[in-house]
Chains A and B, each alone.
Chain A
């Protein structure tokens, strides 16, 4: 069986179940790179341009991890992911990702360059082209695509319930479909902690336990219930975005919409904006969030910049200080005046 490698980085967190079931439906075996670790990241940094963003450096590391293990490398090229009014697109680095990998690494297995450009080409055609390259046509290709879309739908439903991507992937791929309950849930359903903190940031940063220094777990250990942007339904995002028009980056629009949603909710005690160092769109969108979206009445907003040098202690200190400050401001507003 042909082995196809998918790097555990960037778009993995969004589309992996779809790709895996599509590729398996076409008769391939899917291999995923290992979880991010120190050596993997160092490998990536060594083979990459110095001043590119951390997520791309991570992606390089994951690609290098797969090189000797697979016959093909599956790299997505996300050009546009929404079919709506006006031009939308993703970050230039996601558009040029296969070009970068092809030109800068040697000794690679052949690359499957999967184009997602829904504004100009339906996803079906991209999938059909992929099926063609595997020699699969007709009803079998259609079945594979149908199955993959169904898995992706279940996956998105799991995410919406607050299940982190890795667990959701396991759930939908192991038993052929989740039950919608999820093994761990957001603040709406657990309510274990006394604080509700929302994490706003790209999945590939927030949910990579190595690069984020296990941020969600850290917050939970400090007694907070964590909400993710994956829990904000797209209809809500759209509604919020109506107030902030003119952004054309699809993924950053989600961040903006989610941030606006969380910042206007009464039950959220704090919002953490998690961005990667040298990320282009984030440098603009974080500025728009802090200047246009945040108001005097919003809960506290904190920006956490992650890079490949970020030490665990640095992140821990800032997170603890943030949580402490929220708790202190709460006691000050609720405790009776001593005088």
Chain B
């Protein structure tokens, strides 16, 4: 079984570990580029949201690389994400590809569980257990690296050195086959980041919370690598969501994530009374929290026509004025250009710098993990 799945940030590291431990041959498509998005947009419905098009482009690449099974997760609420796999796979079949689908979330747990019976050696439950441990360990390791790189990037002496160290570290983790080697790879990767030359004399960097639709926040090909861009402009960025949170939220194995979700829903309740199915509660609560903990600004990212985030986009101006925090809304689609995004980011950062000069941060925020 040659399994493949679409990209989302660095999720591929944990996911390919899960699948390869289940005995499947994993085909990781190349990281999406503008070309991938163009190919996806060509085959996708006209005004479906952008992640759909990127995923479709990824799937096409995977099939060209010889994948015979495509895996996809499905959301379960009113958001379109719940129908991605079904429609994408139909589009690909209509285009003449033959493959097997694994739709996690729609097909039911039992189906997916048994799917790997032929590939797992020995006991199936033990196989899943082993695969899950590797999956979790890698996801945690990636999360730690991402957090570390975020903290040092605004201070790096040579521009780009953090990102280079991070890429190298991530590939160490990706290649580590066993639990012990993952741990060793993690400490090696952290060491690489430690070695990045820092210029600690710089002024306190601006702090910007990055939030919005999860794929737009986490996928560098879609948001023009916004985290890196901000870091290299000397800005500390705090994504409200992470790949780790996204992977483990539905599994409910980590109480911190469950509590965080619960709190976010409670904070967002006066603004959005019902569940909409996306990250709307994290967007609203994230903005309010950012204001309360003294961030300089909020960057709200969402793909064109995203339903839950469009509702947030309508509500955010009110929060912006009620809580006195600047918010930049960036709507991303296949026509967005890096220059356009860069111009708006630079203008936003300039405004925030001026604002801070007039009004130094009152409270020093606690470092967030």
Chain A interface (Cβ within 8 Å of chain B)? 48-53, 77, 79, 87, 89-93, 95-96, 98-100, 103-104, 113, 117, 246-249, 277-281, 283-284, 286-288, 291-292, 305
Contacts and interface: CB of A to CB of B under 8 A. Distances in A.
B305 A92 contact: no
B271 interface: yes
A93 B304 CA distance: 15
Contact of B304 (A51, A100, A113): A51
B317 A104 contact: yes
A283 B47 contact: yes
A62 B64 CA distance: 50
B91 A291 contact: yes
12 contacts: A51-B305, A52-B314, A77-B274, A90-B78, A91-B78, A93-B307, A99-B271, A279-B47, A283-B45, A283-B48, A284-B48, A287-B87
Point out which of B76, B90, B314 has the most chain A C-beta atoms below 10 A from its C-beta.
B314
A247 B280 CA distance: 22
Contact of B273 (A77, A89, A288, A291): A77
A292 B94 CA distance: 10
A195 B278 CA distance: 44
Interface of B: 45-49, 76-80, 82-83, 86-87, 90-91, 94, 106, 271-278, 280, 304-308, 310-311, 313-315, 317-318, 331
B310 A49 contact: yes
A49 B314 contact: yes
B107 to A, nearest CB: 10
Contact of B49 (A87, A90, A96, A280): A280
Nearest to A286: B45
Contacts of A52: 310, 314
Given A51-B331, A52-B310, A92-B79, A103 B90 contact: no
Which 7 A-B pairs give the minimum distances between C-beta atoms?
A: A92-B276, A103-B315, A96-B311, A103-B318, A280-B307, A100-B314, A283-B48
Contacts of A113: 273
A246 B306 CA distance: 21
B46 A95 contact: no
A249 B272 contact: no
A171 to B, nearest CB: 34
B45 A287 contact: yes
A261 to B, nearest CB: 21
Contacts of B308: 92, 96
B274 to A, nearest CB: 5
A132 B310 CA distance: 33
Most buried by B among A91, A248, A284: A284
Contacts of A50: 331
B274 A104 contact: no
B310 A249 contact: no
B94 A291 contact: yes
- Among B78, B79, B304, chain A packs the most CB atoms within 10 A around the CB of B78
A283 B48 CA distance: 6
Contacts of B305: 51, 53, 278, 280, 283
Contact of B80 (A53, A77, A283, A286): A283
B53 to A, nearest CB: 11
B46 A248 contact: no
Nearest to B74: A246
A134 to B, nearest CB: 21
B314 A291 contact: no
A249 B106 CA distance: 15
Q: Which of B46, B77, B82, B274 is most buried by chain A, counting CB atoms within 10 A of its CB?
A: B274
Contact of B311 (A100, A246, A277): A100
Contacts of B317: 103-104
B108 to A, nearest CB: 11
